Structure 1
Amino acid sequence: MMGRTMPIVLNHGVSRLRRSLRRLGADRKGVAALEFALVVPLLMAMYFVTIEVSQGIETNKKLARAASTVADLVTQQQAMTASQLGDIMDVGKAILKPYGRSDIRFVATAIEITDEDAPKAQIAWSWANAGATAPCQAAAVGSTPDLPPRLKVRGTFLIHVKGCLDYKPILTWAASREAGLGVMDVILTNGVLKMDEGYYLRPRMSPTIPCANC
């Protein structure tokens, strides 16, 4: 009697297990929550990357505008002093507002081109505001600048202004305040993206623009 009962009990248990597995396979409860949990991190990453890229592009445009403005103001002068250059560069800094995660640096360089058949370019003066580092460091007077050939017009004078900025993305900047937010440190060098923009302009009010204490 016992020998006949055991197969029946086992078969009944296997049948119940099969029915349970079929019900589990057909159950769709929680699928939406699982999909949401998988997709949200990707969507959030795409959102933040989009914000960072758009802000980076906008900041670079402002940097170019700031360098252009400083060059424009310098070339409107007949003569310059280091103090006047500092004031003009402060105007350029204001253009980057409200961006304020790092400071913009400028270098203004006067380039003299000799009046001869094979014109040579040399630095007449160069001045950078405090804390400027390469590529916005002041050049040595009398040194030869890396000037595009089309700008080597004999007997002319040029003003070159370059602006430099260590762009700090929001997530990297927030890392110093909130642990775990420095995601961009993995992508960028030391958490910054180095930007620089430069412009060449010619004097407007006089043939040259001397700077007494630059």
Structure 2
Amino acid sequence: MKSRGFLSRLRNFCRNRDGVSAVEFALILPVFATLYFGSIEVSFLMAVDRKVTHTASALGDLTARGTVLTPTEVNDIFAASRALFQPYDGTQAQMRVTSIQRINGKNEVIWSEAQNMTAYAPGTNVDVPNNLLQNGDSIVMAEVLYNYNSTLGYFLPSAQNLNETFYLRPRRTDVVELDDD
């Protein structure tokens, strides 16, 4: 009789459907929470990547508009470019702008200025995409690098290195010069 009571209770327990939704929710919650927070983190990363691209474009564009720039004007261009990073910290961005001219088959640096990274020395040979320059042509190369550290810290555990390089032709002159005065 005792075993029959136990089997009856076991059958009743197996037929009982109360709380099934709560168990299913408890099983699915970690998966959906991971997807939710992971998508938030990826959207932050994409937003910063867009800032890097936009900053490199603006840095090159503002420089390519000049004819002869002073160091003060270049610093103003860097300051304007850093402002584009808002609401992120633009002071951590590594930026470099370089005027390059193809001379005798070599892509030589005319001048280079940088913030938070090393500028190229004048006369340095720099690689640019094939067929971008012919002899006598010049371009402005703008580079921006940014190390993105995850906001949440769990879904992208290591720093992501974001970088962008833009090549623009000078707009109002053949070569953008830097006045040393």
Rounded to whole Å, the distance in 1 between the matches of 2:114 and 2:64 is 16
Q: CA deviation at 1:105?
A: 2.1
Q: CA deviation at 1:144?
A: 0.9
Rounded to whole Å, the distance in 1 between the matches of 2:86 and 2:126 is 31
Rounded to whole Å, the distance in 2 between the matches of 1:170 and 1:208 is 42
Q: Which has the higher strand share?
A: 2
The equivalent of 2:123 in structure 1 is: 142
Rounded to whole Å, the distance in 2 between the matches of 1:84 and 1:165 is 23
Tell me which structure has the larger Cα radius of gyration: 1
Q: Where in structure 1 do 4 or more consecutive aligned residues deviate above 6 Å? A: none
1:165 has 2:146 as partner: yes
For residues 68 and 143 of structure 1, do their structure 2 counterparts lie closer, same or farther at Cα, with a shift above 3 Å needed? same
The equivalent of 2:156 in structure 1 is: 184
- The one-letter amino acid of 2:113's match is W
Rounded to whole Å, the distance in 1 between the matches of 2:82 and 2:4 is 78
For residues 53-202 of structure 1, what are the structure 2 equivalents within 5 Å? Answer: 53-100=42-89, 103-114=92-103, 116=104, 119-129=105-115, 131-132=116-117, 137-172=118-153, 182-185=154-157, 188=158, 192-202=159-169
C-alpha contact 1:120 1:152 (8 A) present in aligned 2? no
Count of residue correspondences: 181
C-alpha contact 1:63 1:163 (8 A) present in aligned 2? yes
C-alpha contact 2:84 2:90 (8 A) present in aligned 1? no
For residues 39-58 of structure 1, what are the structure 2 equivalents within 5 Å? Answer: 39-58=28-47
Rounded to whole Å, the distance in 2 between the matches of 1:123 and 1:26 is 80
Q: CA deviation at 1:183?
A: 4.6
- Normalising by the residue count of structure 1, what TM-score does the alignment of the two structures yield? 0.78
Rounded to whole Å, the distance in 2 between the matches of 1:20 and 1:40 is 31
Rounded to whole Å, the distance in 1 between the matches of 2:88 and 2:37 is 17
C-alpha contact 1:162 1:198 (8 A) present in aligned 2? yes
Rounded to whole Å, the distance in 2 between the matches of 1:166 and 1:50 is 19
Rounded to whole Å, the distance in 2 between the matches of 1:35 and 1:102 is 47
The equivalent of 1:211 in structure 2 is: 178
C-alpha contact 2:41 2:155 (8 A) present in aligned 1? no
Rounded to whole Å, the distance in 1 between the matches of 2:180 and 2:166 is 23
Rounded to whole Å, the distance in 2 between the matches of 1:52 and 1:183 is 7
Q: CA deviation at 1:32?
A: 1.3
- The one-letter amino acid of 1:75's match is A
1:16 has 2:2 as partner: no
Q: For residues 35-64 of structure 1, give each alpha carbon's deviation from its aligned partner in whole angstroms, at most 9, with x where no partner exists.
A: 111111111110111112222223212211
Q: CA deviation at 1:213?
A: 4.0
With 102-111 and 15-24 compared, the bigger mean Cα shift is at: 102-111
Rounded to whole Å, the distance in 2 between the matches of 1:99 and 1:48 is 20
Structure 1 alignment gaps of length 5 or more: 1-11, 173-181
- Normalising by the residue count of structure 2, what TM-score does the alignment of the two structures yield? 0.91
For residues 101 and 210 of structure 1, do their structure 2 counterparts lie closer, same or farther at Cα, with a shift above 3 Å needed? closer
Q: CA deviation at 1:102?
A: 7.1
